[in-house]
Homo-oligomer: A and B are copies of this chain.
Amino acid sequence: MALDRRQSVVLESVRRFLRRSAYSHLIKLLAKARPQDFPSIYEALPDREGMQIFRLLAQRRPELGADLLVELPHGEAPAVVRKLGPALSAELLAHCAEDDTADVLAALEEEERQALLEAMRPEDKLAVEKLLLFDEETAGRIMTTDVFALHEDTTVGDAITELQAREDVEMAFYLYVVDERRHLVGVLSLRQLLLHPPETRIGSIMNTDLLVVRADADQEEVARVATKYDLIGVPVVDDQGRLAGMVTIDDVIDVMREEATEDIFRMAGTSEAERVEPSIVKSARVRSPWLLATFVGGLLASFVIGYHEEAIQSVALLAAFLPIVLGMAGSAGNQTATVMIRGLATGRIHQGMFMEALWRESGVAVLLGLLYGVLLGLGSWVLAIVFATDVLGWWAPAVIGLSLTVSMLISTTIGAVFPLVLERIGGDPAVSTTPFVTTATDVFGSLTYLGLVTWLLF
């Protein structure tokens, strides 16, 4: 987030006001800017000055401080809260949405969390403790309990009066309709409300065809429902069907982005965990399992190659084509795996397409395998001339090229089948497919290449 000119000017003013203790000017400046533009300013400030701002706002303008706090990048808000201490933090969090407060609290150590909860107003504490009961990454955890819900016997006129009276409702685009025990029975858009005379009962004009998620549903399920049915908010119900809250579209978008990043990271053998606490040791630990898979595959390949030691000893140039065969097979297998994994994630590919997918990917593999097999044959012929080795006869290039074609076909098949199998048995294809394909490619590729070469040429 590089600063643009306007932001640089704001940054300069912020620092000047801080130096001169011109606090009311500073507050006026911050209040005028968009909260979403604050993080890049904050990031450019020394730690001490950043904390000075939050301390000032907690004391004088906690609602503004709360707006700025929740815009900070992932993981930064808890750090600020930790440094502010419970009393000032409680002031800020009193003005945050509960799901944001829950996120901050969940990131703290047990002791800090308790101290902070004690410092909060009882009603805020209660609301956020309710959210903390749900697991991370569930609907209950990301919902807001502050929804606009009215009894089905309310009239349109009263509903409008009620809406006018409640200023703080988050993203009030829908009016949820409940019965006397708060069971969700219908929904109305604000626009629909305007289309009927004031004395109409809302129960008589509401839509009863409801899409809801349970509070313990995975956040991915929430995103799936919201995006499939183009909803601005998804109502969340408890196990009794009672309205517990709603997940707003901005939280859905955060979930989508998180999941996409997680998938991308997983496919390369690392994880979003890196983002949260970016220590070098932590990163190394997160990336290590994937490397272990590559390592095991490579070591198994070493054994396969060692077993063919004699062939290599007699024609050392054979070793020269091992990396290219394994590399090409690995790339082709992972291209296929990527298409399959993303297709499964977006629902474009499903289990019923097993044979179709296998057939299609094999076709692509044969085409590409033949193309690059011929190229490798030519390449090996050139190499043999350059290094003046022609022990294996004129058809050696053909065999080397053929081994590439076969290896690519094998790795592509693995890349197509493995994600489907993994999903069927309930695993996450994005986590284990790429390392598995790489490992399998190293082993089967070495076997194919050296096996074919020694069988046909010796």
Interface code A296-325, partner B: CB below 8 Å = 1, 0 otherwise?
A: 011101110111011011001101111111
Complex contact B342–A261 (CB within 8 A): yes
Residue of B nearest to A445 (CB): B323
**A154: Cβ under 8 A from any B Cβ:** no
Contact pattern, A 440-453, Cβ under 8 Å of B = 1, otherwise 0: 00100010000000
Indicate whether A290 reaches chain B with its CB closer than 8 angstroms.
Answer: yes
A213 → B minimal CB distance (Å): 15
**Chain B residues, CB < 8 A from A326:** 323, 326-327
List the B residue with the shortest CB-CB distance to A310: B316
The proximity string for A residues 49-77 relative to B, scoring 1 for CB distances below 8 Å and 0 otherwise, is 00000000000000000000000010000
Q: Does A421 contact B (CB under 8 A)?
A: no
Q: Which residue of B lies closest to A250 (CB)?
A: B230
B270 pairs with A335, CB closer than 8 A = yes
Docked-complex contact B331 and A302, CB < 8 angstroms: no
Mark out the residues of chain A between 322 and 375 whose CB falls within 8 Å of any chain B CB in the assembled complex. 322-328, 330-332, 334-335, 337-339, 342, 346-348, 350-352, 360, 363-364, 367-368, 371-372, 375
Q: Which of B173, B335, B367 contacts A281 (CB 8 A)?
A: B367
Q: Which residues of A (202-220) have their CB < 8 Å from a CB of B?
A: 209
Residue from B287, B328, B375 within 8 A of A368 (CB atoms): B287
- Complex Cα gap A92–B376 (Å): 53
Check A335–B264 contact: CB distance below 8 A. Answer: no
Contact: A335 with B298, CB < 8 Å?
Answer: no
The verdict on A1 contacting chain B, using a C-beta distance below 8 Å, is: yes
Are B316 and A164 in contact, CB atoms less than 8 angstroms apart? no
Stretch from A19-27, A177-185, A188-196 that touches the partner: A188-196
A254 nearest CB neighbor, chain B only: B227
Q: Which of A99-107, A132-140, A379-387 contacts B (4 or more CB under 8 A)?
A: A379-387
Return the CB mask of A138-160 against B: 1 if under 8 Å, else 0. Answer: 00000000000000000000001
CB of A115 closer than 8 Å to a CB of B: no
Cβ of A232 to closest chain B Cβ, rounded Å? 6
A394 beta carbon closer than 8 Å to chain B: no
Check A126 for interface membership: any CB of B closer than 8 A: no
CA of A416 to CA of B295 in the docked complex: distance in angstroms? 22
Residue of B nearest to A387 (CB): B306
Q: Knowing A253-B256, A268-B334, A284-B367, say if A323 contacts B295 (CB, 8 Å).
A: no
Report yes or no: A264 in contact with B261, Cβ–Cβ below 8 A.
Answer: no
**Closest B residue by C-beta to A313:** B316
Do residues A379 and B302 form an inter-chain contact, with CB atoms below 8 A? yes
A261 to chain B, nearest CB (A): 6
CA distance A190 to B306 in the complex (A): 74
Known contacts A280-B367, A331-B269, A364-B283: does B323 contact A305 (CB below 8 Å)? yes
Is A2 located at the chain interface by the 8 A CB criterion? yes
Are B335's CB and A269's CB within 8 A?
yes
Q: Residues of B contacting A195 with CB < 8 Å?
A: 164
Given that A291-B332, A368-B291 are contacting pairs, would A360 and B268 also be in contact in the complex, using a CB cutoff of 8 Å? no
Asked if A316 contacts B312 (CB within 8 A), the reply is: yes
Taken together as a complex, chains A and B put the C-alpha atoms of A227 and B260 apart, in Å, by 15
A297 to B383, CA, bound (A): 15
Give the nearest-CB partner of A305 in chain B. B320
A263 at the interface (CB under 8 A from B): yes
Beta-carbon nearest neighbor of A275 in chain B: B348
Across the interface, do A324 and B301 meet the contact criterion of CB distance under 8 Å?
A: yes
Contact (A438, B265) CB under 8 Å given A350-B2, A368-B287: no
B348/A73 in contact, CB under 8 A: yes
**A160 touching B339 by the CB < 8 A rule?**
no
A-B contact pairs, 27 of them (CB 8 A): A1-B347, A1-B350, A232-B232, A257-B260, A260-B263, A263-B264, A264-B342, A265-B342, A268-B338, A274-B339, A280-B360, A280-B364, A287-B335, A291-B332, A291-B335, A294-B324, A294-B328, A295-B376, A301-B323, A302-B323, A305-B319, A306-B320, A309-B320, A310-B316, A316-B319, A323-B442, A327-B442
The 6 closest A-B pairs by CB, nearest first: A298-B324, A319-B319, A268-B338, A260-B260, A305-B320, A280-B363
